[in-house]
Amino acid sequence: VADALAFLDVENSFDDLREKMNSMQSSFSSEDTLLADARSSNTSSVVLLVQEAQSMSAWAERIQKALSVSSLTDGSLAPWADFSAAYRQKLSVIGRDCSAISSDAWKLCATWYDKAAFAFVSDDTRLLKEAQSFMSSGSSAKQYPKQALESVQKMQETVRADIAVLSAGSKTLSEGGASSVQIGGNLASINNKIETLRGLLSQSDVLAQQAGELSSRAYQAQLDGDTLFREAQNAYNRRDYTSALQKLEAAAEKYDESLAIQEDAQILEKRNTTLLDLSNRIARAKYENIVREVRQLKDSASTLYYSGEFEAAEASLNRAEQLWTDITVEVDDELERLKTLVNTALTMNIGRVLSTDDPLYPEMSQILSIANRYYSEGLSLKQKGDDSGAQKVLDLAKAKLEELQRVYPLNQAANLLTLRINRLLDPVEFERSFESRMKALSEVNYEARDSLATQSYTELKDLYIINPNYAGISALVNKAEIALGLKQKPVAASTSQRAITIAREAQSLLNRAGSDENLLAQAQERAQEALELDPNNSVAKTVLDEVKLKSGSQDSGVLSSEDEEQFQRAKQLFKNNFIEEAFEVINALAQKNPSSKRIKNLKERIELKL
């Protein structure tokens, strides 16, 4: 009786079970629903369905055993005969329905796993592509290996879980009550999808390795950048501005290296804001120091120049120029004016004195020594009254001097010795020639500062050494030196006062200027005017330096990441001989970064090829 009641309860569950199976089958049309169900662990509908299929199989077996009970097969036990036949018939129907429902359930389970396998492959392939999308294949596209690694690791966890679900399902189906005819195709498909998922894992392993290596490289570059940035800060704090900028440039390169591998908003923000801010502060501090140091060097060079120490003046100006061009591309007019003066003076002295560094020095010094010996011998013969002997020896001396003068026509020692020989040979003719040359030299326009003026001045100096007492020669030398800029013209009291007045006007303009470019330009113009009147006016010099500090642009050497990328692009275009394209890029950068020496230098190189 208990079994009969249980069998009837099973029969009563058929409708509910079929309704659940129909509902489950209808869910196959939604891949998202299927995925959510398949990844919900032990609560998934297929687990419940497997349990029902196994239960129906068990009930079918139990009913089959019940049908073989002797009390149901012995027809002699009246009045059970009629009931037994009816009961057996009912059990047969229930047993058949249990088997049918079990078979349908197994088929549905197999179908579910098959469709789940397809959904797993589709979704896991999508996840792999999503992870791959973080890795750029183009030269200019951004890439995110850190995010790629995180994404692929999550994808691998999902794939392994999916494989576990399908492997468990394959085992359940293989060991279940369904025949291979019923689910063989599904089972083969499921196992095939498992292998496909394992293939995705293999692909993801390669991606994970690449992303991990790139992420590590990016992180190391970032750490290096952080270290260099701290070193730059320390150098700035101890006022070692040159080292600070070098460290900062290196830090920028490391951050750019990191960003080229791994796009990172925080690093980009630090690179383009914090780093550039420190760069500008360092450049400003360095600029202020150099403006003061350049002023000292210019004043020193001016003093040395007017003392006739041209080479020492040149050394000071070279140092000043080196410092100045290290921080800006702007021209220092005062520095250029001093350089012109010094170069002119040095040019006039080229070849005037034999240099021990000259490859011809041994030969030329020997020639000069022989000529001096001949002169001494000729002078001795002349003093003894041997004019003929003196003439011969002095002619030999002049011949030797001509050998030297063909190479160094301005050599002072040779020219002076020639003048002394000529005076010794024919004093009357020498005086006539001296007077003629003085007349010609007095008519030269020394203010032109051309080759005639400089050559005439060197000759005038030689004549002055030979006869410093000649009438008017001292005044002419002084006039020529002032005109050539070799000597400062004495500043009259009225001129000095005028310079003071103008310098004060410049100072007033500077005080009111603030950051007004027009007023700063006016202050600079008035200060330069004051210096033209009195080169020693200290107020005018101070105003010029202050104008530089207020309006001068400084080159920190560090560009923004975007500008650095464009700079490298211009270099590559130039290297590949795309000259016009390179110029277009570098010209835009030059307009945006007018104080950058790197950009200026590359632009000049490109312009030469246009």
Tens-place pLDDT, residues 447-465:
998 889 999 999 999 999 9
109 close to 46: Cβ distance less than 8 angstroms: yes
Residue 587 has pLDDT above 70, yes or no: yes
The pLDDT of 375-388, averaged and rounded, is: 93
Residue 255 has pLDDT above 90, yes or no: yes
Q: CA-CA distance, 217 to 271, in Å (whole number)?
A: 17
Percentage of the chain beyond pLDDT 90 is 54
Q: CA-CA distance, 608 to 610, in Å (whole number)?
A: 6
416 close to 465: Cβ distance less than 8 angstroms: yes
Residue 114 has pLDDT above 80, yes or no: yes
Average pLDDT, the chain: 86
54-64, pLDDT tens digit by residue? 676 777 667 77
pLDDT at 73: 52
pLDDT at 307: 86
Residue 568 has pLDDT above 80, yes or no: yes
Q: CA-CA distance, 219 to 290, in Å (whole number)?
A: 37
- Which residue has better confidence, 368 or 75? 368
- Which residue has better confidence, 503 or 83? 503
251 close to 222: Cβ distance less than 8 angstroms: no
- Cβ-Cβ contacts under 8 Å for 564 (sequence gap 6 or more): 252, 256
Residue 100's pLDDT band, with cuts at 50, 70 and 90, is confident
The pLDDT of 94-105, averaged and rounded, is: 70
Spell out the alpha helix ranges (H) of 39-79: 45-67, 70-73
Spell out the alpha helix ranges (H) of 447-596: 451-466, 473-484, 493-513, 517-533, 538-551, 561-575, 579-592
Residue 82 has pLDDT above 70, yes or no: no
- Which residue has better confidence, 157 or 56? 157
567 close to 599: Cβ distance less than 8 angstroms: yes
pLDDT at 269: 93
pLDDT at 432: 95
Q: CA-CA distance, 375 to 381, in Å (whole number)?
A: 10
Handedness of CA 587, 589, 594, 595 (dihedral sign): negative
Q: CA-CA distance, 387 to 374, in Å (whole number)?
A: 14
With tokens 């005819």, the residue in question is 181
484-536, pLDDT tens digit by residue? 988 888 889 999 999 999 999 999 999 998 888 899 999 999 999 998 899 88
Residue 75 has pLDDT above 70, yes or no: no
322-335, pLDDT tens digit by residue? 998 887 878 888 89
Q: Which two tokens stand for residue 605?
A: 């190189």
- Which residue has better confidence, 93 or 163? 163
Q: Which two tokens stand for residue 534?
A: 């009195």
pLDDT at 499: 93
The pLDDT of 578-583, averaged and rounded, is: 93
pLDDT at 33: 78
Handedness of CA 91, 94, 100, 106 (dihedral sign): negative
Please report, as a single letter, which amino acid is at residue 218.
Answer: A
pLDDT at 112: 85
Percentage of the chain beyond pLDDT 70 is 85
513 close to 550: Cβ distance less than 8 angstroms: yes
Residue 142 has pLDDT above 80, yes or no: no
Q: CA-CA distance, 564 to 259, in Å (whole number)?
A: 12
Residue 181's pLDDT band, with cuts at 50, 70 and 90, is low
The pLDDT of 531-557, averaged and rounded, is: 84
Residue 108's pLDDT band, with cuts at 50, 70 and 90, is confident
393 close to 373: Cβ distance less than 8 angstroms: no
pLDDT at 43: 47
Residue 554 has pLDDT above 90, yes or no: no
pLDDT at 140: 56
The pLDDT of 529-556, averaged and rounded, is: 85
The pLDDT of 3-29, averaged and rounded, is: 66
The size of the chain, in residues, is 610
- Cβ-Cβ contacts under 8 Å for 388 (sequence gap 6 or more): none
Q: CA-CA distance, 135 to 149, in Å (whole number)?
A: 10
pLDDT at 474: 95
Residue 582's pLDDT band, with cuts at 50, 70 and 90, is very high
Q: CA-CA distance, 588 to 601, in Å (whole number)?
A: 14
Residue 1 has pLDDT above 50, yes or no: no
